[in-house]
């Protein structure tokens, strides 16, 4: 199959590389000239483990190429995937669909033959119908196929998620669905042959599946974060509570780790867009709305925790933040909890230093006034607090004695529950706090 992938970001690049590894011929398109020039030189614009080797192999074998010329990529393609961004629209929580619609129009204008247009971007109910309308209105002479194919990969584990998905969802339009169904079946055949489930449905249901899945996960994380706050009050340990409830097969152990609140490029914007869809259709999603609100409170609670651990005031204190990306194994800083927590610490009078294996490049733009260092022990020298915000492997097995010894006042805010009070006390920390557990000091 010949595939054009419009948008070469976290989703488009991984999808394009993986499709080429399935044996398809893929052309990845992006408007960003620097990105494409870099990719042609073998430079990957994002940090995603394993992507460089897979990309190099498929380029070398002649199945994968990069261009800024959308028309060139669309020419002769059996399917054109739209994988552009759908950020939150400024001012309200709606998804900004302008990139998706612009891409659909560009595809229609540049196509020399009818093709199947597949939306991989996360888009609210009704968007694929609008894409179909744009295609048919711009080029009425072509019998367009339209499919919705939301993506569920997780940054940091994206290749594995794409190659071994829990499911592939394909939404089809009643008009022209035979052609689209055939093309989608052929594209995903390598997964189908290995028995990964493919859910065929209508366009609206496919769009709903993506938002409902993300909202459910955001609710689950937020639930345990709220339970964690109560655990602290009543003397319970959220780690034991998570384990105890997660072993129930109906609940499941994943997404039950208490922490500083969800962030990233998907959950915040997708919960907002989902809540807006509910309001637009006069069917409010009150659980989702509450989740958004509680998640903001969770982040604010982290700032209060750090201040309390510092004796109530952060004025004149130096706080070393370990990890600023929204989770480990990505350089993505979009809506990371650090973007709320670090400025709040600075506003409370603290000087902030930060260490992050991949987040520094973005962090330098997004977090002004932060001093960046590469080594956690160096960053802890003379500090009054270490706050662990992202559980990178590098921060999971720190020599706590060495860390405490380097600090002016050894206090540890372990916002990912990596260590424990006993370990912190034994290492010489004066004060320790975690999320949903009993600290000291």
For residue 7 the two structure tokens come to 């948008």
Can residue 128 be called a binding residue for ligand NAD (CB under 6 A)? no
Collapsing DSSP to helix, strand or coil, 416 comes out as: coil
Report whether 78 contacts 3 (CB < 8 A).
yes
Measured in residues, the chain has a length of 441
Sort residue 91 into left (φ over 0), alpha (ψ -120 to 50) or beta: left
Among 20, 58, 65, 122, binds ligand NAD (CB under 6 A): 122
Closer CB to ligand NAD, 103 or 209, in the complex: 103
Task: Candidates 138-146, 148-156, 243-251, 298-306: pick the segment binding ligand NAD (CB under 6 A).
Answer: 148-156
Closest CA to 344 of 379, 380, 389, 286: 389
Closer CB to ligand NAD, 97 or 383, in the complex: 97
**Angle subtended by helix axes 203-234 and 238-246, to nearest 10:** 140
Q: How far is the CB of 356 from ligand NAD (least distance, A)?
A: 18
Task: Candidates 6-14, 175-183, 339-347, 367-375: pick the segment binding ligand NAD (CB under 6 A).
Answer: 6-14
Among 3, 4, 5, 6, binds ligand NAD (CB under 6 A): 6
Q: Give, as ranges, the residues between 73 and 102 that touch ligand NAD (CB under 6 A).
A: 83-86, 99, 102
Closest CA to 120 of 235, 267, 4, 21: 4
Can residue 15 be called a binding residue for ligand NAD (CB under 6 A)? no
Question: For this structure, is 18 an active site residue?
Answer: no
Strand order in the sheet with 2-6: 64-67, 25-29, 2-6, 79-82, 116-119, 145-148, 168-172, 198-202
Can residue 265 be called a binding residue for ligand NAD (CB under 6 A)? yes
Can residue 362 be called a binding residue for ligand NAD (CB under 6 A)? no
Give CA–CA dist 386/186, Å, rounded.
52
Q: How far is the CB of 17 from ligand NAD (least distance, A)?
A: 13
Can residue 390 be called a binding residue for ligand NAD (CB under 6 A)? no
Q: What are residue 44's phi and psi, to 5 degrees?
A: -95, 130
Can residue 12 be called a binding residue for ligand NAD (CB under 6 A)? yes
Among 30, 78, 226, 289, binds ligand NAD (CB under 6 A): 30
User: In degrees to the nearest 10, what's the CA dihedral of 186, 164, 267, 8?
Assistant: -60
Give CA–CA dist 435/421, Å, rounded.
11
Can residue 151 be called a binding residue for ligand NAD (CB under 6 A)? yes
Can residue 8 be called a binding residue for ligand NAD (CB under 6 A)? yes
E strand or H helix that includes residue 413: strand 411-414
Closer CB to ligand NAD, 20 or 242, in the complex: 20
Among 54, 79, 132, 153, binds ligand NAD (CB under 6 A): 153
The residues annotated with a catalytic role in the active site are 266
Chain residues in the site for ligand NAD (CB under 6 A): 6-12, 29-32, 35, 70, 83-86, 99, 102-103, 106, 121-122, 151, 153, 155, 265-266
């Amino acid at each position: 199959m010949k595939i054009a992938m419009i948008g070469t970001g976290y989703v488009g690049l991984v999808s394009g590389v993986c499709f080429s590894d399935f044996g398809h011929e893929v052309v990845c398109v992006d408007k960003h000239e620097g990105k494409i020039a870099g990719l042609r030189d073998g430079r990957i614009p994002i940090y995603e483990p394993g992507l460089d080797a897979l990309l190099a192999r498929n380029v070398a074998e002649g199945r994968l190429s990069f261009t800024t010329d959308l028309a060139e990529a669309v020419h002769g393609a059996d399917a054109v995937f739209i994988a552009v961004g759908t950020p939150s629209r400024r001012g309200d929580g709606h998804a900004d669909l302008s990139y998706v619609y612009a891409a659909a129009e560009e595809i229609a204008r540049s196509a020399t033959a009818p093709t199947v247009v597949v939306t991989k971007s996360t888009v609210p109910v009704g968007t694929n119908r609008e894409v179909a309308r744009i295609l048919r209105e711009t080029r009425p002479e072509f019998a367009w196929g339209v499919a919705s194919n939301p993506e569920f990969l997780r940054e940091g584990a994206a290749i594995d998620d794409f190659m071994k998905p829990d499911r592939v969802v394909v939404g089809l339009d009643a008009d022209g669905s035979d052609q689209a169904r055939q093309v989608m079946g052929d594209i995903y055949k390598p997964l189908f042959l290995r028995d990964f489930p493919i859910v065929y449905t209508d366009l609206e249901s496919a769009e709903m599946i993506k938002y409902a899945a993300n909202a459910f996960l955001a609710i689950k994380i937020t639930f345990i974060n709220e339970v964690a706050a109560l655990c602290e009050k009543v003397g319970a340990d959220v780690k034991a509570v998570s384990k105890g409830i997660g072993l129930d097969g109906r609940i499941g152990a994943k997404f039950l780790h208490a922490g500083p609140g969800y962030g990233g490029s998907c959950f915040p914007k997708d919960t907002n867009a989902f809540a807006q869809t509910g309001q637009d259709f006069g069917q409010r999603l009150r659980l989702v709305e509450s989740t958004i609100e509680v998640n903001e409170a969770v982040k604010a609670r982290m700032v209060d925790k750090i201040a309390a651990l510092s004796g109530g005031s952060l004025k004149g204190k130096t706080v070393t933040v370990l990890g600023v990306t929204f989770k480990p194994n990505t350089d993505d800083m979009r809506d990371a909890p650090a973007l709320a927590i670090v400025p709040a610490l600075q506003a409370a009078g603290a000087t902030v230093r930060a260490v992050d294996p991949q987040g520094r490049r973005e962090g330098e733009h997004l977090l002004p006034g932060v001093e960046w260092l590469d080594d956690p022990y160096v960053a802890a020298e003379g500090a009054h607090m270490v706050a662990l915000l992202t559980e990178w492997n590098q921060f999971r097995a720190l020599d706590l004695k060495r860390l405490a010894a380097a600090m002016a006042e050894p206090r540890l805010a372990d916002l990912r529950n990596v260590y424990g009070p006993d370990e912190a006390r034994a290492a010489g920390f004066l004060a320790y706090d975690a999320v949903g557990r009993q600290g000291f000091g």
